[in-house]
């Protein structure tokens, strides 16, 4: 303790509990500080506090690694879609849709035909639904890399916008405590049934990845069965593969829709990548023969309806025009007619349709349209990413 006599020592207590005798300079009697000395001390403390705070801020922004190397603070930003490396054809197609990288659009009729084929039988519907789930889960993961969702509800908007990028005119969604409802708007004929098994799977896969457990989805209303929109719901959803209907009448209805008037004027425009995404299901080898038979039947039905409309058998030149019109409308390849009278033509494909299965499907459709007049080279030619097959008139 201070002695109380003259300029006594100043005793300061440290955090350790030990005491230390300080410098009595500028101290008054009984250890009280002079006003000027007290002001100088406060200024020094303020300066030291600011310096210390600055050091702490600097370290927070640019921490040091154990080896002394400087690091920068990581800032989350939206990742570029181009930086994502796809691991499959489906993933590449989804990235094309999200990035709007399609140079050529597909007709609404071609997408509708693919939807009919991919849901034609019970096993095909199951395969289509499961393929949609796989694609939907990847769609969620790629969107989450960009958006960093806090809640799964935040992601539904991006799912809805994906279908708009794919080609649907508009979309909307509602999130209820016990279910999610998504509506897709577009144009197209009334075929008397629900067509969107693949889309149900995409929505199911997206929500399954977002929520963390399987979410079944079914199409409760469809614009192809008389509704004004396609309505998908997670509430009391029936198994997509459990519904069995006579899809031949759907193919007949689509053939009539295409044969009547000018379908190009009615057609909506879809992303060609979306069409190819659905075709990945159709081109499974175990179902390919059935799909070829159905497309042959579809082409033959269009031919019969055209004959009935003109009340006579079509000539070779008319057949060539009919084949070219519909092959282009349905995006089953590009038909180049070199000589209509002799039916000398070449069927060409771009790199996105380079699989031999796609060529087989297109040829099956043309076989239905051209019937006995069609012959073709067995060998597929490839040059500069263009795939072609020669079509000649059969010798009688």
pLDDT at residue 130 in the model? 95
Regarding predicted confidence, which is higher, 86 or 223? 223
Which residue, 282, 302, 326, sits at the end of a domain? 282
- Is it the case that residue 240 has pLDDT exceeding 60? no
- Residue 176 sits in the same domain as residue 323: no
Q: What is the CATH number of the domain that holds 113?
A: 3.30.1380
pLDDT digits over 258-271, tens only? 888 655 555 668 99
pLDDT of residue 43: 61
User: What global pTM score does this model have?
Assistant: 0.75
Instruction: Flag whether pLDDT at 232 surpasses 70.
Output: yes
Q: Are residues 219 and 261 in the same domain?
A: yes
For 149-178, b/e burial (b = at least 16 CB within 10 A) is eeebeebbebbbebbebbbbeebebeeeee
Which of 14-28, 171-185, 321-335 is predicted most confidently? 171-185
Is residue 242's pLDDT more than 50? no
> Which comes out higher in pLDDT, residue 104 or 135?
135
Which single residue is written with the structure tokens 């009280």? 32
pLDDT tens digits along 50-87: 454 444 434 433 334 344 443 333 333 344 555 667 78
Claim to verify: residue 249 and residue 347 sit in the same structural domain? no
pLDDT tens per residue, range 19-33: 444 444 444 444 455
Residue 60 covered by a domain: no
* Domain assignment present for 201: yes
The separation between CA 215 and the C-alpha centre of its own chain, rounded to angstroms, equals 18
Same domain, residue pair 120 and 174: yes
Tell me which DSSP letter residue 167 carries: T
Question: According to the model, what pLDDT value does residue 202 have?
Answer: 97
Q: Other C-beta atoms within 10 Å of 259: how many?
A: 18
Assess if residue 355 is contained within a domain: yes
11: in domain: no
**Same-domain pairing of 252 and 383:** no
Q: What pairing do the DSSP bridges indicate for beta strands 344-349 and 386-393?
A: antiparallel
Determine, yes or no, domain membership for 27.
no
Domain hosting 374: range is 312-396
Point out the least confidently predicted range of 130-139, 288-297, 350-359.
350-359
**Distance of alpha carbon 37 from alpha carbon 45, whole angstroms:** 12
Answer yes or no: is pLDDT of 208 > 70: yes
Share of the chain above pLDDT 90, in %: 34
Domain check: are 243 and 316 in the same one? Answer: no
User: For the segment 327-358, what is each residue's pLDDT rounded down to a tens digit?
Assistant: 988 888 888 888 877 788 888 887 777 778 88
Query: Same structural domain for residues 273 and 327?
Result: no
Same domain? For 214 and 319 the reply is no
Task: Look at residues 277, 273, 255, 257 and name the one whose alpha carbon lies nearest to residue 265.
Answer: 257
Quote the number of domains for the chain: 2
364 has pLDDT over 60:
yes
Do 192 and 271 sit in the same domain of this protein?
Answer: yes
Average pLDDT, the chain: 77
Domain annotation covers residue 2: no
Looking at residues 106-118, what average pLDDT do you find? 92
Report pLDDT for 392: 78
The fraction of the chain above a pLDDT of 70, given in percent, is: 70
- Residue 262 sits in the same domain as residue 361: no
Across 136-140, 224-228, 344-348, 392-396, the highest mean pLDDT is recorded for 136-140
* 239 vs 279, more confident: 279
- What token pair was written down for 139? 């769609």
**Any idea what the CATH number is for the domain that residue 319 is in?**
3.30.110
Residue 362 lies in a domain: yes
Domain end position, chosen among 282, 301, 325: 282
pLDDT value of residue 342: 76
At residue 383, the pLDDT reads: 66
Same domain? For 118 and 256 the reply is yes
Distance CA 50, CA 53 (A): 5
Q: Is residue 31 part of a domain?
A: no
- Say whether both 141 and 236 belong to one domain: yes
């Amino acid at each position: 303790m201070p002695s109380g006599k003259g300029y006594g020592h100043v005793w300061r207590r440290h955090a350790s509990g030990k005491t230390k005798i300080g410098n009595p300079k500028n101290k008054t009697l009984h250890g009280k500080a002079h006003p000027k000395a007290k002001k100088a001390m406060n200024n020094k403390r303020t300066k030291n506090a600011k310096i210390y705070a600055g050091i702490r801020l600097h370290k927070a922004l640019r921490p040091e690694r154990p080896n002394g190397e400087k690091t920068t603070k990581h800032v989350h930003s939206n990742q570029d879609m181009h930086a994502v490396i796809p691991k499959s054809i489906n993933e590449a197609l989804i990235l094309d849709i999200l990035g709007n990288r399609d140079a050529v659009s597909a007709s609404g009729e071609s997408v509708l035909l693919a939807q009919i084929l991919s849901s034609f039988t019970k096993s095909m519907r199951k395969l289509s639904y499961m393929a949609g789930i796989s694609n939907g889960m990847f769609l969620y993961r790629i969107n989450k890399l960009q958006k960093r969702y806090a809640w799964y509800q935040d992601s539904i908007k991006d799912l809805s916008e994906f279908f708009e990028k794919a080609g649907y005119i508009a979309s909307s969604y509602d999130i209820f405590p016990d279910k999610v409802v998504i509506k897709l708007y577009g144009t197209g004929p009334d075929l008397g049934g629900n067509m969107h098994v693949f889309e149900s799977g995409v929505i199911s896969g997206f929500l399954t990845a977002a929520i963390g457990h399987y979410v079944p989805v079914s199409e409760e209303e469809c614009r192809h069965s008389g509704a004004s929109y396609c309505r998908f719901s997670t509430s009391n959803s029936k198994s997509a593969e459990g519904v069995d209907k006579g899809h031949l009448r759907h193919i007949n209805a689509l053939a009539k829709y295409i044969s009547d008037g000018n379908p190009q004027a009615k057609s909506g425009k879809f992303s060609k990548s979306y069409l190819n995404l659905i075709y990945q299901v159709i081109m499974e080898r175990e179902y390919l023969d059935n799909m070829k038979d159905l497309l042959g039947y579809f082409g033959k039905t269009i031919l019969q309806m055209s004959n009935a409309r003109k009340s006579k058998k079509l000539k070779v030149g008319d057949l060539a025009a009919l084949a070219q019109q519909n092959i282009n409308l349905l995006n089953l390849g590009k038909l180049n007619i070199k000589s209509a009278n002799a039916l000398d033509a070449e069927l060409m494909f771009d790199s996105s349709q380079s699989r031999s299965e796609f060529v087989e499907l297109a040829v099956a459709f043309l076989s239905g349209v051209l019937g006995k007049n069609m012959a073709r080279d067995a060998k597929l030619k490839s040059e500069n990413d263009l795939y072609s097959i020669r079509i000649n008139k059969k010798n009688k």
